[in-house]
A and B are shown apart, each in its own frame.
Chain A
């Protein structure tokens, strides 16, 4: 059922340097949210929350490298503070709005969105007691430019800051280790004389830059304690907790204890209720589910991530309703991700052929295999309904393909499209990350396309290497499986990455001048309502040109022990609201 898809996606992503991004919900309420936040006993300070995971380690503890939604949420709540952060709320609109964290307000834009200024609060300190000043935030941002040392992680700082590029397209600033072009950086990220005010000068108008700075890449790092690529082993905390021990592998754990130098008066954002956070690595996913369902002893304050398929019928009555005994601590919500198949536009240039594949595909069978209603709803584009104003139905399956296409596919119409395409018999290969569910999906693709006379050849790839291989144009095939979630609730983190060559996730190899110009216009549009309409049109254009074949708007199920408070999905990252959670005594 559903979770295999999500988990495999995340595994693949972890290995590929966190290409699936931090997630955001949107401003429309998710109609299927089953678990309202618990209104029961209020948690007090103290206790330990156990975060049980199947992973052997965190991909990284380096704030500038961290990029997966769950990790950003967890570390932002515990270790690293940022200028702005997302409000804690289960509500899709509130939970994706920004509030000040280290700054006194959410930032002031001037020069039409090309200059952004924040003023830091008083009393901010690192775990060693040294004060956090503008230079520490600037130093943190500067690390992103050292892309030979700080590998992976979001590169928005490089894309946005007003620093010229070298001839090869890389930034003229090479990071704080080489210090080449340091003056350029110091001009782009300026500190006031008292070290309280930080100003970012951007090369283009970025109306949503106040969202960009919620990424951990914009969190402070003390230059004196930076250890380069080893910083991940012992990062310096600016938040309410600090790393006590970190052992990876099976039986390993990450133990976070209170940071004595952190004070609540400078931080009204985090509740920081439990005394310790213990992340237990390398546990079997089925064991995690069993422990949290039973919720006895220490497991009553344990939390887990996606539930396994076989746990779903035990915990849920239906995809939107938990069994009575688990109500309040079992959740099923739309996650931030869209599953789709990307077409390689270089190897599959014929639009009618791509459309024929979309028409012939039995999406109903694929969705059932992924977990049916538990897995999510049929997708019609790369922007999801929980993205709020950026979403509008594209009409892909109703009008864009020439006639309404049933979820089970229309082989006869697909045959007709192939005849019209003039391409002759269609044979192609598709890439996917290997898993039992993935293999079954591949079999369904082969059989459903065969109905229209299309020969599809599956090419399973080991999940850990998946994104490494499909991003190599020499190794990827005509069609490949992918998933994507936005970095913040603006489709500027969906359309540009997916469909422009510099975006970073352009599996379609799509590089169209007119389309690029439209994307640039939308990215820099200061009127949010106008911008939303532009994103809606670009989303429609992307599926009308069949750059991608969207399949599922994903849904996720997870569960916490019965002594954990604030159990809801934080729409900002599609994660637990870590800084709000506590132990009910």
Chain B
């Protein structure tokens, strides 16, 4: 909807004779974006994230342009004795900008860009899935109340009380096995299994938050009027209540995303992540442990990129929350 100038309240001391310009009312999104635009930290984070996303999407192209690829071993870059890269910083050179992997001579830059692609794919997909499940369950639970609410509430309690890390470790190989029985093999199965498991354990917190919001929203006048007009429950849930939930959902998603990037790294670190020859942050960090005293760059490079990415998304999440609700701001 939009307001024209004539609809605006007119004060006694306001002279309107010259003002015939139409004033466009701003939606919540426009207001939020406006506030974000003025937040320097937020804009920096947006640029950083955008940079990494572009890097991830065009990973093969970028690797091609730099002249490296993550799979080809380069025996000439490592020593015969111990497979140690020649030269400092893991043998960083024009040919291998960030050096090469110990033992194989595979390019670190190419692995990093490739790993970014897989990490972001998993994190984004798992976040979208977790938010979707959590929102639907939360809305239904909060709006319907009663037994449904109690039932869903107990399920959430059980989910939250599971030691999720242990279950992740146990479940992924099992899912992997099941997928291979239906013909989905290798990394496709692994990626899907990781996304599924992360999403399944990510939604309960969100469902709780959404349920709380819905409990207060459903008593509001616009919901009552929709009920009075005979709208269907589905329509009320998704057309009346859902649009009012975007703010908390967005904030929660920006909190979930970096957590998932780190979780994927953790799973690969424990060896149940992506299969070789693909590499991710986790497998790179896992590999680095054997060598970091001799070659600290193995730990530094993926660690730094991971840290920048996670901090950027977290700060962006904070800024988005501030922008949506300035009264709850950090200062």
Q: Does A309 contact B (CB under 8 A)?
A: yes
Q: Would you call A369 and B81 a contact (CB within 8 A)?
A: no
B277 touches A309 (CB 8 A): no
Complex-state Cα separation, A458 to B71, whole angstroms: 14
Tally of contact residues, B, Cβ under 8 A: 31
CB under 8 Å from chain A, chain B span 101-116: 101, 103-106
Known contacts A1-B82, A373-B80; A436 and B289 CB within 8 A of each other: yes
Residues of B within 8 A of A310 (CB): 290-291, 293-294
Once bound together, how far apart are the Cα atoms of A436 and B186, in whole Å? 18
Complex Cα distance A319/B79, Å? 12
Q: Let me know if A179 is at the binding interface, CB within 8 A.
A: no
A313-B75 contact given A443-B106, A444-B104, CB 8 Å threshold: no
Given contacts A4-B290, A368-B75, A460-B275, whether A313 and B82 have CB atoms under 8 Å apart is yes
What mask results when residues 364 to 392 of chain A are scored 1 for a CB within 8 Å of chain B, else 0?
A: 11001111111000000000000000000
Within 8 A of B (CB), among A425-471: 434-437, 439-440, 442-444, 446-448, 457-458, 460, 462
* Interface contact A446-B103, CB-CB below 8 Å: no
Q: Which of A470-511 contact B (CB under 8 A)?
A: none
Whether A71 sits at the interface, judged by CB under 8 Å, is no
| Contact partners of B185 in chain A: CB under 8 A | 457
- Of B79, B275, B293, most buried by chain A (CB within 10 Å of CB) is B275
CB distance from B118 to the nearest CB of A (A): 14
Contacts of A446 in B (CB 8 A): 71, 276-277
The B66-81 residues at the A interface (CB cut-off 8 A) are 71-73, 75, 78-81
Q: Does A170 contact B (CB under 8 A)?
A: no
B271 pairs with A434, CB closer than 8 A: yes
B286 at the interface (CB under 8 A from A): yes
* CB atoms of B276 and A439 under 8 A apart: yes
Looking at the complex, which one of A4, A365, A439, A460 makes contact with B75 (CB distance below 8 Å)?
A365
| Interface size, chain A (Cβ < 8 Å) | 36
* Contact status A440-B103, CB under 8 Å: yes
Contact of A436 among B71, B78, B105, B287 (CB under 8 A): B287
Q: Is B319 an interface residue (CB 8 A)?
A: no
What are the interface flags for B277-312 relative to A under an 8 Å C-beta threshold, 1 for contact and 0 otherwise? 100000100110111011000000000000000000
Name the B residues within 8 Å of A91 (CB-CB). none
For B287, what are the chain A residues with a Cβ–Cβ distance below 8 Å? 436, 439-440
State the main secondary structure of chain A at its contact with B: helix
A460-B290 CB under 8 A given contacts A372-B81, A443-B277: no
Q: Do the beta carbons of A365 and B73 come within 8 Å of each other? A: yes
- How many whole Å from A284's CB to the nearest CB in chain B? 11
CB distance from B106 to the nearest CB of A (A): 7
From 164 to 211 in chain B, residues with beta carbon under 8 angstroms from any chain A beta carbon are 173, 185-186
Q: With an 8 A cutoff between CB atoms, is B32 at the interface?
A: no
What residues of chain B lie closer than 8 Å to A319, measured between beta carbons? Answer: 81
Using a CB-CB cutoff of 8 Å, which residues 39-86 of chain B contact chain A? 71-73, 75, 78-84
A308 within 8 A of B: yes
Complex contact A442–B186 (CB within 8 A): no
**CB <8 Å contact, B104 and A372:** no
Knowing A313-B84, A373-B81, the reply to whether A447 touches B71 (Cβ < 8 A) is yes
Question: Shortest beta-carbon distance, B296 to chain A, in Å?
Answer: 11
- CB of A408 within 8 A of CB of B290, answer no
Q: How many Å lie between the Cα of A437 and that of B82 in the bound state?
A: 13
A313 to B80, CA, bound (A): 13
Distance in angstroms from A210 CB to nearest chain B CB is 41
* B186:A457 contact, CB within 8 angstroms: yes
Closest to A312 in B: B82
Does A263 sit at the interface, judged by CB under 8 A? no
Residue of A310, A312, A371, A457 with highest tally of chain B CB at under 10 A = A310
> Does A362 belong to the interface (CB within 8 Å)?
yes
Tell me whether A309 and B290 are in contact (CB under 8 A).
yes
Of B71, B286, B287, B290, which is in contact with the most chain A CB atoms at under 10 Å from its CB? Answer: B290
User: Does residue A266 face the partner (Cβ distance < 8 Å to B)?
Assistant: no
Q: A368 CA to B103 CA in the complex, in Å?
A: 6
Contact A364–B83 (Cβ < 8 Å): no
User: Are B75 and A364 touching (Cβ within 8 A)?
Assistant: yes
| CA gap between A309 and B291 in the complex, in Å | 8
Q: How far is the CA of A460 from the CA of B101 in the complex (A)?
A: 20
* Residues 227-269 of A contacting B (Cβ, < 8 Å): none
By beta carbon, the residue of chain A nearest B288 is: A436
Instruction: Name the residue of chain A whose CB is nearest to the CB of B277.
Output: A443
Tell which of B72, B80, B84, B293 touches A447, judged by Cβ atoms closer than 8 Å.
B72
Are B75 and A408 interface neighbours, CB within 8 A?
yes
Complex interface: chain B residues within 8 A of A28 (CB): none
Q: Which residues of B contact A371 (CB under 8 A)?
A: 82-83, 103
Which chain A residues numbered 175 to 205 have a C-beta less than 8 Å away from chain B?
none
Nearest residue, chain B, Cβ from A443: B277
Nearest-neighbour CB distance to chain A for B99, whole angstroms, equals 15
A318 within 8 Å of B (CB atoms)? yes
Chain B residues contacting A1 (CB-CB under 8 Å) are 82-83, 103, 290
Report B-chain residues with C-beta under 8 Å of the C-beta of A437. Answer: 103, 290
Neighbouring B residues of A448 by C-beta, 8 Å? 73
B window 216-242: CB within 8 A of A: none
Complex: A435 Cα to B71 Cα, angstroms: 18
Q: Are B75 and A372 closer than 8 Å at their CB atoms?
A: no
Chain A, residues 1-31, CB within 8 Å of chain B (1/0): the string is 1001000000000000000000000000000
Against B, the Cβ 8 Å flags (1 = close, 0 = not) of A299-340 are 000000000111011000011000000000000000000000
**CB-nearest residue of chain A relative to B268?**
A439
Residue contact A374 to B104, C-beta cutoff 8 Å: no
Cβ contacts under 8 Å, B291 to chain A? 309-310
Report Cα–Cα, A312/B101, bound state, in Å.
Answer: 18
Query: Which residues does chain B contribute within 8 Å of A4, judged by CB atoms?
Result: 290
Q: How far is the CA of A434 from the CA of B173 in the complex (A)?
A: 13
Task: Report the nearest A residue to B295, measured CB to CB.
Answer: A310
When C-beta atoms are compared, the residue in chain A nearest to B83 turns out to be A368
Which residues of the other chain, A, contact B271 by a CB distance below 8 angstroms? 434-435, 439, 460, 462
For B103, B173, B271, B291, which residue has the most chain A Cβ atoms within 10 angstroms? B103
A12: min CB distance to chain B, Å: 14
Complex formed: what's the CA distance from A462 to B272 in Å? Answer: 9
Q: Which of B73, B78, B173, B294 contacts A313 (CB 8 A)?
A: B294
A435 to chain B, nearest CB (A): 8
Residues of A within 8 A of B (CB): 1, 4, 308-310, 312-313, 318-319, 362, 364-365, 368-374, 408, 434-437, 439-440, 442-444, 446-448, 457-458, 460, 462
23 inter-chain pairs at a CB distance below 8 angstroms, sorted by A residue, are A1-B290, A318-B81, A319-B81, A362-B73, A368-B80, A368-B103, A368-B105, A371-B83, A372-B80, A373-B80, A374-B82, A408-B75, A436-B286, A436-B290, A439-B287, A440-B103, A440-B104, A442-B275, A442-B277, A443-B104, A446-B276, A446-B277, A460-B271
5 closest A-B pairs by beta carbon, nearest first, are: A443-B277, A369-B103, A443-B276, A368-B83, A442-B276
| New contact pairs (15) apart from A437-B103, A446-B276, A462-B173, CB-CB < 8 Å | A4-B290, A309-B291, A310-B294, A313-B84, A365-B73, A368-B83, A371-B82, A371-B83, A372-B81, A372-B83, A374-B81, A439-B276, A439-B283, A442-B277, A443-B106
